[in-house]
Structure 1
Amino acid sequence: MSTRAERLDPVVRDRLVCPQDLGVLIDAGDELYNPRLRVAYGIDELGIPNMLIDDARAVSDDEHLAITGGDGE
């Protein structure tokens, strides 16, 4: 089964960036993840990303490593 991030419309997905630093986001299951700031933006059950800065979730060091594969970013 695909994740919510994988099901985003490719045209929309290509245009989504982090609202804080305008950088690239990583698909992380049901979220979009900014490895530079270590924050995740949720995608609801309808496939709508919540890109509000105040709603972003802080990501722990262990979770960061799991999402990025430990690439040191």
Structure 2
Amino acid sequence: MSTAFVLINTDLGEGNEVFDALKEVPEVKEVYGVYGVYDYVVRLEADTMQNLKDTITVKIRRLNHVRSTLTMIVVE
């Protein structure tokens, strides 16, 4: 199992739409709204590293109103 944390910046005022879309992604296990530089912290899990990368690049980074991301892949 591969795990990553993704920090997400959204367009101003569009956080709820992004939050709802993230909850629909099967690999997303937790989503937290946070204060500070980023708007959301997301924990992902996938069966392979390739599926994890695909989830980040295709399912998350391409969501409407996602402005930027920072990904931290967990090393076990």
> Which protein has greater RCO, CA pairs closer than 8 Å, 6+ apart?
2
More strand by share: 2
Fold match (TM-score > 0.5): no
